[in-house]
Amino acid sequence: MSLYVMKFGGSSVGDTERMKRVAKRIADKQDEGHHCVVVVSAMGDTTDELIDQAKQLNGQPPAREMDMLMTTGEQISVALLSIALHGIGRDAVSYTGWQAGFRTDDTHGRARINEIVPRRVLESLEKNRIVIVAGFQGMTLDGEITTLGRGGSDTTAVALAAAIKADVCEIYTDVDGIYSTDPRIVKSARKLKEISYDEMLELANLGAAVLHPRAVEYAKRHQVKLVVRSSFNTNEGTVVKEEASMEQGVVVSGIAYDKNVARISILGVPDMPGVLAQVFGKLAEEGVDVDIIVQSGVQNKKADFSFTVSLDDMERAKEVIEQMHATLPYSEVTSEDNLVKVSIVGAGMVSHPGVAAQMFEVISKQGVSIKMVSTSEIKVSCVIESGNLQHIIQALHTAYNLDTTEQAFVGGPQDRR
C-alpha cells in the first residue's frame, strides 16, 4: 500500500458541502488501496475573520495571543472533516499540529519547524485509520502554540510527508495544476505536466501563489514527490520533481508577477567601504527582507542605490533608514509603491542567449519603462509600473510560445494558505 499525504486548502473545505466532497475524495483514495494522511487549512475566510475580530479589540494584538487565536480555525476544520469521514463509514482521527509532533522555534506568527515526531500519526496509520492533521501550526518545547506563517499548511504537508516517508504529497487547490502563468488573467495559459524543484521555487518566490516557497524548499531538500491538482475535479495534476523534461521549443516554463512590491532609494550616500553592509545588515536585524538591489554610478564621491521590499515592509524599512541618518549622512530617501515585479522562469534559459533581451523588447513595446532588473541562471525579473500588467503578461506569454488552445480550469476562489 502506498502512503499519500493530501493537503486541502481553505477554499476546498469552505463549507459543509465542500467538506463532504473532500471526505468522499479521501475515501476514494483509501478504496484504491492507499494509506491517507490529510492536512487541512481553516475553512474559507475563517482566518481573515479572526484577524479582523482581533484588530477590532486591539490595533496591535500580541503575537502570542494571535497564534492562540489563529490555530482555532484549523482545529475546527480537522474535527469537522473527521466527523464527515465517520459519517460515510470511515475510521478517521484528527490531530492538532502539536499532537502530530510538530516542534517549532518560538517565533510567533512565522515559526520554523525544528523537528517532527510523528509517533501518533504512525500509530494511527498502523490501525488503518485516516489521519487528519491541522496545517499551519506547531508547538515549542516549552509548550507554546505557534503558527508557521503564510503558506504554513503547504509546509506542514510537505514536512510531514518527509517525516513519515510518504510516497506522494498531493496539494489540492482551486486550479488543476501548475500553469505557465496565472490562468485567471491569461486564458491561454498552459498546464505543465511536470516542473523542476528549482523552477517551481523561483516561480513561488516570484509571486506564483499555487505553492509556497518554504514548502518547495522542504520538498527539494527531502526529495518529496509533489503533485499539484484540483479538489474540484479528477484531472491529472502537475508533478514537481528534481529534473523535469523540457518541452520542445519551450525555453521559458512560466511567467510570474508580484504586486506586493515597493522600491526605496537612498540618494547621496558616501562612497566608502562598508556602507551597503551597514544598511542591509540593519534592515536584516529588523526583519526586513530585501529583494533586488541596484547601485548607480558614483559622482563627487556620492552614490545612489535602490532596493525593493514588500509593501508591508516599506514604512518599516524607511523608518530604519531614517534612524541611521546620524551615522549614514545621505541626502534623501524616496519610495515608490505603484510597482509590480514581472518575471520569466525556465531551465532552458541557460543555453539560449537573448531571452532577457526579448523580454525587455516585449515590455518596451507596451510603452512601459523598466526600473530595475534582476537575473539568475533560470530567471529574469523586471520591476515596472503596475498600470499595464495584464497586457504585458499576455504579450510575454505569446512571445515565449506558451499559448495553448486548451481551457484552463479554475474551480474556486484563490487559496493562498
CA dihedral of residues 382, 386, 392, 394 (deg, nearest 10): 120
To which residue does cell 510516497 refer?
167
Q: CA angle, corner 131, sides to 11 and 46, nearest 5?
A: 30
Q: In what order do the strands lie in the sheet with 238-241?
A: 92-95, 130-134, 35-40, 3-8, 168-173, 226-230, 238-241, 194-196
CA distance 71 to 63: 12
Interhelix angle 355-365/389-399, rounded to 10 degrees, is: 140
Local structure of residue 289 (DSSP, 8 states): -
Q: List % helix, strand, coil for the chain (3-state, nearest 5).
A: 35, 30, 40
Residue set of the binding site for substrate: 47, 74
Residue set of the binding site for ATP: 7-10, 173-174, 179, 184
Does an H or E element contain 379, and which?
Answer: strand 379-385
User: Which phi and psi (to 5°) does residue 372 adopt?
Assistant: -150, 150
Residue set of the binding site: 7-10, 47, 74, 173-174, 179, 184
CA distance 307 to 283: 11
CA distance 283 to 278: 9
